[in-house]
Amino acid sequence: MPLLLENRAATLSPLPLITTEEARMTRVSLSSSTWLRVRKGIYTNRGSYASAKPWIRYQVRVHAFARQHPDAILCLESAAVIHGIPLFGETRDIHVYSPDRKRARRFGDVVVHTGVDLRTLVRVNGVLATSLLDTAVDLSRVLPAAHALTVVDSVISPTQGGPLTIDELNDHATSQCNRRGTARLRWVFGRADGLSESPGESVSRAVIGWCGFEEPELQHEFHYSEKPARSDFYFPSNRAIGESDGWQKYLLEDPGKAAEALADEKRREDLLRSKGHPFARWDLSAATRVDPLAAALTNIGVRRIGPAQTQMLDTLKDRSRQMPFKRRPAP
């Protein structure tokens, strides 16, 4: 099944953390060959951290900060970690909300935010954060458009466990004094769709539109057998089907369930192909690189109904809020 917000939520550090005090009490030697200092006085296993996915490393950093500052209020991407809102890559900064400050400040990799719009606070497993509603609106103001769409889709999609509605988000945003990112919010709220089942689908939908292709139907059902088959994207003009695969689409920790899910996917695809539907698959990487996704749709005859929006497509390259990419050495 698709990942729920609660499945993505890291309410505890995904890697064990140990403080210098705990190390002394338990006689653990914090040698630099084994242990990595995540924050002053807080360590994790160096090898595990190095091999972790980028968003997992960010989750560890957020929880190390929360361990160091238990009264801090997480916001933006840092609050997204707690709520399970999907993020891309490894976020560069830890984001903290401090309503009593007169202006925002940076302390190393920690950015302290303020503002005239008060946020609702929640405490999850002892960690303070801005509410899901506030976090989603705040992120939608500052993230690249496709990533902002992913945020909003996730919190309004019942399939992803999203409890909010687009009206709630829009009403909350328009009630705020903050006018930053108003045009982006307007675009995101106009495009958001609760039928989207994964981050890959959300990004793909943005790219499909920006490339000028016709707008697809989401989760279209085909009744060719006793069990209806659904597609991520259906293009009615030529009956073509598109599928967005990959990154965190399914919770497949159980190998048996993983094999069963993949077998079901293969049977479904074979059935749809046998009924004459042109069929294309792509992953998140293909969508963000644009050309592979555009080529896949062109190859199955999906028509373009407008010009490409190159300025919007260029926003997919925006990594300003992420850590610089470091290519890992070959094993």
Tell whether 58 and 147 lie within a shared domain: yes
Q: Exposure string (b/e) for 130-157, b if CB count within 10 Å is 16 or more?
A: bebbbbbbbbbbbbbbbbbbbbbbbbbb
- pLDDT category of residue 177 using cuts at 50, 70 and 90: very high
Tell whether 211 and 179 lie within a shared domain: no
In a domain, 324, yes or no: no
Higher-scoring residue by pLDDT: 230, 261 = 230
Tell whether 105 and 220 lie within a shared domain: no
What domain range is 230 assigned to?
Answer: 199-317
- Last residue within a domain, chosen from 191, 210, 234: 191
Higher-scoring residue by pLDDT: 258, 230 = 230
The residue written with tokens 């989603």 in the block is 136
Tell whether 85 and 177 lie within a shared domain: yes
In a domain, 29, yes or no: yes
pLDDT at 69 over 60: yes
- pLDDT category of residue 267 using cuts at 50, 70 and 90: confident
Q: What is the pLDDT of residue 331?
A: 42
List the single range of 100-109, 227-236, 260-269 with lowest mean pLDDT.
260-269
In a domain, 169, yes or no: yes
List the single range of 44-48, 150-154, 159-163, 258-262 with lowest mean pLDDT.
258-262
Tell whether 225 and 89 lie within a shared domain: no
> What's the mean per-residue pLDDT of the chain?
94
Q: What is the pLDDT of residue 11?
A: 98
- 3-class DSSP assignment, residue 316: helix
DSSP state of 285: H
Residue 270, both tokens: 């074979």
One-letter identity of residue 156: I
Whole-Å CA distances, 195 to 41, 153, 219, 255 = 44, 8, 7, 27
In a domain, 330, yes or no: no
- pLDDT category of residue 266 using cuts at 50, 70 and 90: confident
CATH number at residue 205: 3.40.960.10
User: Domain tally for the chain?
Assistant: 2
Tell whether 153 and 264 lie within a shared domain: no
- Last residue within a domain, chosen from 191, 210, 227: 191
In a domain, 329, yes or no: no
Tell whether 35 and 180 lie within a shared domain: yes
- Last residue within a domain, chosen from 143, 167, 191: 191
pLDDT in tens, 191-249: 999 999 999 999 999 999 999 999 999 999 999 988 899 999 999 999 999 999 865 45
Tell whether 154 and 247 lie within a shared domain: no
Tell whether 45 and 139 lie within a shared domain: yes
In a domain, 325, yes or no: no
| Mean pLDDT, residues 22-38 taken together | 98
Tell whether 219 and 184 lie within a shared domain: no
Tell whether 156 and 277 lie within a shared domain: no
Instruction: Give the integer Cα–Cα distance in Å for 213 and 222.
Output: 22
Tell whether 111 and 251 lie within a shared domain: no
Q: What's the pTM value of the predicted model, to 2 decimals?
A: 0.93
